[in-house]
Structure 1
């Protein structure tokens, strides 16, 4: 069979990388259609995946709109030539290329605020898969699985952290360090949202650097780290999860990396304008499980970060929570491969369900520890 996977961001590469490799090893023809955004291409090269770039996109809010016509002009002819039996993606590119090429399409969605993308994508999807924590209903073809998209690459079945990352970072075997991740807020779903101000970012770096080594990942690339006690995170982006697994703390105003930290058992503080009563389901559930903390006010972020760094019991407590929590979650790569091998007929896949929690799984209920 022929399969096309869309990777529009670095997170999408991680989501599909193991499924692409497994399907290719099984003798299927697989192609990844990629957008040159952030480190997406670097990751595809690192994992040696069969890809083709359909266009690029910057981190400014209107870069995507300017490039959109050219993207479609390159995507559609390729899809027709490759003649896939099934398309996987996370939005409009996959859905529309599937509709125009008459190819069944499976969308994997996890962000409730992207309502426009849902509106223009879901009518063309054979199936939509979301985490069971997803707080919206997306129609008759909406199926849920027990976990998050990050379970495709951070579930214990597929991820083993490499402690050699400490050599790449230049830190000692027992040297604690924190990672700070700052979002560029340039994606279409980031319109009208924000995170730390530039002044708060500088203050956060210098306050935490009093307690530990601080690595900074700045998506927008606007910070002058020479003004601070922080160090740039300059390891290969494919090594980020190894670094995150070894970190003592993550503080971020971005999204995906916070879920990743929670699934790795690394204490994580998230702060941006999404935080609040209408927050996304995955962040609400992860906080309920004690794996992340959502803090709206900057001073609260600094105070809580210093408390976590000062508590020697945190690593063991987080490891226990992670272990118990992931026992209730699926290896999403297994689900994706099974959906592919069933030609997108999701109803044949036991690990997904139209309502509630899929059969054979129980929702995690946190206990006091």
Structure 2
């Protein structure tokens, strides 16, 4: 079989990396179509995934203007690469995957999360043969929409899949018992981030200063613009493929971005998300809050004070790990499900009995 996968962001690479590896080991031909965006191609190289680049997508205003001018050329490249590869099934999300499936007449599987409805979903939904999303998703995308108990991050962070690198503290340069915190500041440059604002510069500085009194602070700044030379914080400068290993050992993650907060929570690390100007209610975070694995804050001062309290509570690590075992261990291993869907050529009727039991029509979940 020939499986075409779209991985346009670092999160997409993680979503599909175990699936791609297992399909290749089973003798299938897999191709990942991607774009130059953040560390996406770095991750593809690190994990040895077979890929071709169809374009790029920068983070500044000029890059986005250039992207708009070059969109036609990128779509043309996608068409050529897709037709040349001749896939039996296409995986992805948004109009790129829908276009590839349409021109090759291959079944198209869209794997979504609980983001707000937007242009991408409106354009791609009519061309999808199967739409897969977490059961906490509150949107109903039609008769081809199916859900599973879990999160898209369960494809790489489910306890059956994730194996932490025991050398991560050595890589970071921290002692075995030394508490450390990861701060993740979002670039907020994606389409669904339009008009959103996360931590302000003065809040970032205050958070670093206060948390560094109780722990070593590592900063991951997506824009790469923060100056930390005179700050008590250290830049997180390991290869991006190691971020989940670093999260798993951290005492706390604080972020104004959704994906990394979800990932830390699923690893049993206290995950605090600052909403900033984002007033959308995400089903994933509500579920993680109910499980006691993540917390969201509208006011910066409340987040800061809660973070200080958690760092001072010696019982937190054990409590969060118990919560993870009780909650995450019961979720669907999404890699198993994606491999089964791929080998069934996107036909849910041909799924194995365990895979069929793992999904249900969205209309029945409402």
TM range (shorter): over 0.9
Q: Retained in 2: the 8 A contact 1:6–1:89?
A: yes
Q: Retained in 1: the 8 A contact 2:114–2:134?
A: no
| Cα distance between partner residues in 2 of 1:195 and 1:337 | 36
Partner of 2:245: 242
| Cα distance between partner residues in 1 of 2:241 and 2:303 | 28
Gap change, CA 1:203 and 1:157, over 3 Å in 2: same
Confirm whether residue 226 of structure 1 aligns to residue 229 of structure 2: yes
| Cα distance between partner residues in 1 of 2:284 and 2:277 | 12
Q: Retained in 2: the 8 A contact 1:112–1:135?
A: no
Confirm whether residue 353 of structure 1 aligns to residue 360 of structure 2: yes
1:291 corresponds, among 290, 293, 300, to: 293
5 Å matches for 1:18-97? 18-60=18-60, 62=64, 64-97=67-100
Partner of 1:15: 15
Partner of 2:266: 263
Q: Deviations over 1:211-245 (max 9, x none)?
A: 11000000011111113111000011111000000
Q: Retained in 1: the 8 A contact 2:143–2:363?
A: no
Partner of 1:125: 128
| Cα distance between partner residues in 1 of 2:364 and 2:295 | 24
State the Cα distance separating 1:327 from its structure 2 match.
2.5
State the Cα distance separating 1:356 from its structure 2 match.
7.2
Partner of 1:343: 345
Gap change, CA 1:24 and 1:357, over 3 Å in 2: farther
Moved more, 190-199 or 232-241: 190-199
Q: Deviations over 1:282-322 (max 9, x none)?
A: 01111111100000111111111101101001000000000
Alignment TM-score, normalising by the size of structure 2: 0.94
Secondary structure at 2:137's aligned position in 1?
A: coil
| Cα distance between partner residues in 2 of 1:290 and 1:230 | 28
Partner of 1:334: 336
Q: Retained in 2: the 8 A contact 1:163–1:246?
A: no
| Cα distance between partner residues in 1 of 2:318 and 2:283 | 26
Q: Deviations over 1:306-363 (max 9, x none)?
A: 01101001000000000000132011000000001111012434111103789xxxxx
Gap change, CA 1:203 and 1:67, over 3 Å in 2: farther
1:101 corresponds, among 100, 104, 125, to: 104
| Cα distance between partner residues in 1 of 2:364 and 2:136 | 9
Confirm whether residue 183 of structure 1 aligns to residue 186 of structure 2: yes
* Structure 2: stretches of 5+ with no match in the other structure: none
Secondary structure at 2:100's aligned position in 1?
A: helix
Secondary structure at 1:227's aligned position in 2?
A: coil
Q: Retained in 1: the 8 A contact 2:90–2:109?
A: yes
Partner of 1:115: 118
Q: RMSD of the TM alignment (CA)?
A: 1.5
1:172 corresponds, among 167, 170, 175, to: 175
| Cα distance between partner residues in 1 of 2:310 and 2:105 | 52
| Cα distance between partner residues in 2 of 1:211 and 1:179 | 13
Gap change, CA 1:65 and 1:281, over 3 Å in 2: farther
Moved more, 107-116 or 282-291: 107-116
5 Å matches for 1:177-216? 177-216=180-219
State the Cα distance separating 1:194 from its structure 2 match.
1.4
Q: Retained in 2: the 8 A contact 1:245–1:264?
A: yes
Q: Retained in 1: the 8 A contact 2:265–2:293?
A: yes
For these two proteins, the number of residue pairs brought into alignment is: 357
Q: Retained in 2: the 8 A contact 1:346–1:352?
A: no
| Cα distance between partner residues in 2 of 1:83 and 1:201 | 48
Q: Retained in 1: the 8 A contact 2:199–2:276?
A: no
Q: Deviations over 1:77-108 (max 9, x none)?
A: 01001100000002211012211221210000
Alignment TM-score, normalising by the size of structure 1: 0.94
